Structure 1
Amino acid sequence: MVSEQLRRVTHPMAQFDGLAIDVSDVEAQAEFWRVALGGRVREDGDGQLRVVPGPGRPGREIMRLREVERPGPDDARVHVDLRLPGEEPHGLVAAGARLVRSPGPDPWFVLADPEGNQFCAFGASDGRSPGMFELVVKCADPYGLARWWAAVLGGEVEEEGEAASVAGAPDFPWDYMVFDPVPGINQYRGRVHWHLVGREREPFALLQAGATVMAEPARTRPWWVLADPEGNRFCVSPPPTG
């Protein structure tokens, strides 16, 4: 019998396929995240812009810019963590970021992109490469949600005090998917979600595992919009044909 660990590596329910963020000024946000991620801006087939990986960056490090007339409120329910090339975020501020908070008891900067979406930036240390290194999801039950996403994407759950993370998931482009406990999570809103590519044309396995349907595919949006057990939105496209 195939071990559970091997099954997660060889047969995850879906593959991670990058992030998406609701924005009002697509071009400005694309340029900012191009600088922040060290990537390139590319136009999708439907005319939308996305930031795709630059040289040496993981293939699934994608940021889709989803144009909406009025982006909803954002409480950083989902945010990214970056490593800086130096000790200060001068390059990000020059590109349009706003400093929200300097390091204090927590040893990282909190910044906001030009439309106010917050993210964290860590000063250079230990010779590790700059760039994005983890995706953070605020939640009520970090261990339960980490186990759920490890079952979906593969990888192993790691304990981090009150938080939990998933590491080693196939196709996940960063070191960790972190689940951070916060009180009153139902009051938190966000503009960032993520995309998956399913193993089947319809997400039966995800629904059976506990996902819920927020929207079925439509002519202009050929993917499912689902929510995980704590209501975090994600999109699932069918596997490529041919």
Structure 2
Amino acid sequence: MTVARFKDLCVDVASPSEMAAFWGRVIGLTTPADNPGVLVGDVPEKTIWMCRVPEPKIVKNRVHLDVHTGAVANLQAAGATIQSDEQRWTVLTDPEGGEFCGFVRDTDPAYRLMELVVDSTDPERQARWWAGVVGGDVASTPDAPWYWLENVPGLPFPYWVFVPVPEAKTVKNRIHWDVTAPALQPVMDAGATLLRPRDGEIGWHVCADPEGNEFCVFLPA
């Protein structure tokens, strides 16, 4: 039995309106006229908040997005910079230096967010932990070291991937996800850590998963 449901994504940025415009072009989302710092789609779960922070990016992003594209040139035209070409994907950076990967397809779909990717010291454990929190099926292949979730209720992209890295998390992630839950305690009982409780300044609880990845828990009003 799951204890929470995926809500939306958040990206730490220096310039919310500029980064929302960039990611809107890359993913295929729009910004409301009254809020240029957020992206919205045809369902609430496609929402991506651009959160202004004072600190710059200093290390490789531990969480990144993978996107579909008809051509890497389309991502460059949107404002991305190529970092390296791999066999199946191209590593790029957004205008503020955040890494993401582009996968070239025969057609360029209207909505292009393919998956959320999380660096992990123990990918299988992380995948199974999150499956227990938000649901979905844990999948893997014998010849690959990563694990992923699919069929996650409400997830607005096909896959949530956990890939192996040797280094542990050292700084706050610049991309995080929010969840909704009927109550906080079942999330804590699953193994989350409470970093900051809901208070007069914020209307949600800031938590961390077993490897320290931040996520926010929204409870009923």
TM-score calculated relative to the size of structure 2: 0.91
Task: Give per-residue Cα distances to partners, 1:115-167, cap 9 Å, x unaligned.
Answer: 01110000114x68460111101101111111100011111110132111111
Structure 1 partner of 2:204: 223
Judging changes above 3 Å, is the alpha-carbon distance between structure 1 residues 152 and 69 closer, same or farther for their aligned structure 2 residues? Answer: same
Matched, 1:51 2:36: no
Contact 1:77 1:188 in 2 (8 A): no
Task: Give per-residue Cα distances to partners, 1:58-93, cap 9 Å, x unaligned.
Answer: 541221000112234241200011010x2x222221
| Structure 1: distance between partners of 2:18 and 2:84 | 23
Three-state SS of the structure 1 residue aligned to 2:129 is helix
Contact 1:81 1:122 in 2 (8 A): yes
Three-state SS of the structure 2 residue aligned to 1:199 is coil
Matched, 1:176 2:159: yes
Q: 1:32 aligns with which of 13, 19, 22?
A: 22
Identity, % of aligned positions: 34
1:80-99 correspondence runs (5 A): 80-84=65-69, 86=70, 88-99=71-82
Q: 1:65 aligns with which of 26, 32, 50?
A: 50
Structure 1 partner of 2:62: 77
| Structure 1: distance between partners of 2:37 and 2:199 | 20
Structure 1 partner of 2:178: 195
Three-state SS of the structure 2 residue aligned to 1:151 is helix
Contact 1:71 1:191 in 2 (8 A): no
Question: CA RMSD for the aligned pairs?
Answer: 2.0
Contact 1:73 1:190 in 2 (8 A): no
| Structure 2: distance between partners of 1:188 and 1:119 | 18
| Structure 2 gap ranges (5+) | none
- AA at the equivalent of 2:174: R
Three-state SS of the structure 2 residue aligned to 1:116 is coil
| Structure 1: distance between partners of 2:36 and 2:209 | 26
Alpha-carbon offset, residue 214 of structure 1: 0.9
- AA at the equivalent of 2:190: A
Structure 2 partner of 1:4: none
Alpha-carbon offset, residue 229 of structure 1: 0.4
Structure 2 partner of 1:117: 98
TM-score calculated relative to the size of structure 1: 0.83
Q: 1:100 aligns with which of 83, 95, 101?
A: 83
| Structure 1: distance between partners of 2:62 and 2:168 | 8
Aligned pair count reads 218
Structure 2 partner of 1:137: 118
Q: 1:21 aligns with which of 11, 14, 17?
A: 11
| Structure 2: distance between partners of 1:43 and 1:14 | 31
